[in-house]
Chain A
Amino acid sequence: MTTETRNGGITVMDPRAGALDANAELAPRPGKLDGKVLGLLSNGKLNAAELLQMVGEMLGEQFELKYVKEADKPDASRPAPEDTVAELARESDFAVVAIGD
């Protein structure tokens, strides 16, 4: 049942699979937030949208935001639909995403 090696031991195999190569880089940072559009992406879990709105209001008090764009996704357990992310990205200069529980 086992594979003998020259030194009398056995060879066994790795059950793991690594993630496929992925390369991503951070987007250029916004510098200043004044005059910028804030995108908020909620995963729909309880209090996620409320938390983001509070964050949006606090940022609005500190900076002259152009406006705040809100989006949410239908299913917290899956990545947001491509359309949702693309639409948010088109309008927003920076974004806040919540919540990992």
Chain B
Amino acid sequence: MHDGIELEKLGVPSAVLITDEFVNQAKAIAEIQGIPDYPFAIIPHPIGRLTPEALKGRAEAAVPQILKILEVEG
């Protein structure tokens, strides 16, 4: 979260991926960092123990959210 907001401050639009278990924590940190409504992409927990196939599913779930966060046109 912190790193995404730092990138935003440096002028780089960024999408942060978090799992659904960490929404409360991510919101708390976004608030501390001064962007309480900072958008992030939420994918199902967990990540670390997934097989490559399952991980691909997470990536597929993340991409449309990333495009929305970045407000990509077309």
Chain A contact residues, CB within 8 Å of chain B? 19, 21-33, 39, 41, 43, 45-48, 50-52, 54-55, 58-59, 62, 73, 79-80, 85-86, 88-89, 92-101
- A46-B47, A100-B40 known; 18 new pairs, CB 8 Å cut-off, are A21-B34, A25-B8, A26-B13, A30-B70, A41-B7, A43-B3, A51-B62, A55-B63, A55-B66, A58-B60, A73-B3, A85-B10, A95-B7, A95-B12, A97-B4, A97-B16, A99-B17, A100-B17
CA distance A85 to B47 in the complex (A): 23
Interface CB pairs A-B, < 8 A, 11: A27-B11, A30-B13, A32-B73, A80-B2, A95-B7, A96-B66, A100-B16, A100-B22, A101-B18, A101-B21, A101-B47
Closest to B26 in A: A100
Within the complex, the shortest CB–CB distance from A44 to chain B, in Å, comes to 11
Is B31 a contact of A79 with CB atoms below 8 Å? no
Q: Which residues on the A side are within 8 Å of B19 (C-beta)?
A: 99-101
8 nearest interchain CB pairs? A22-B34, A100-B18, A46-B48, A54-B59, A89-B10, A98-B17, A24-B34, A29-B71
Bound CA–CA A73/B4 (angstroms): 13
Contact A89 B7 (CB under 8 A): yes
Tell whether A32 pairs with B32 under 8 Å between CB atoms, given A45-B48, A92-B12: no
Q: Is the CB of B14 within 8 A of A24?
A: no
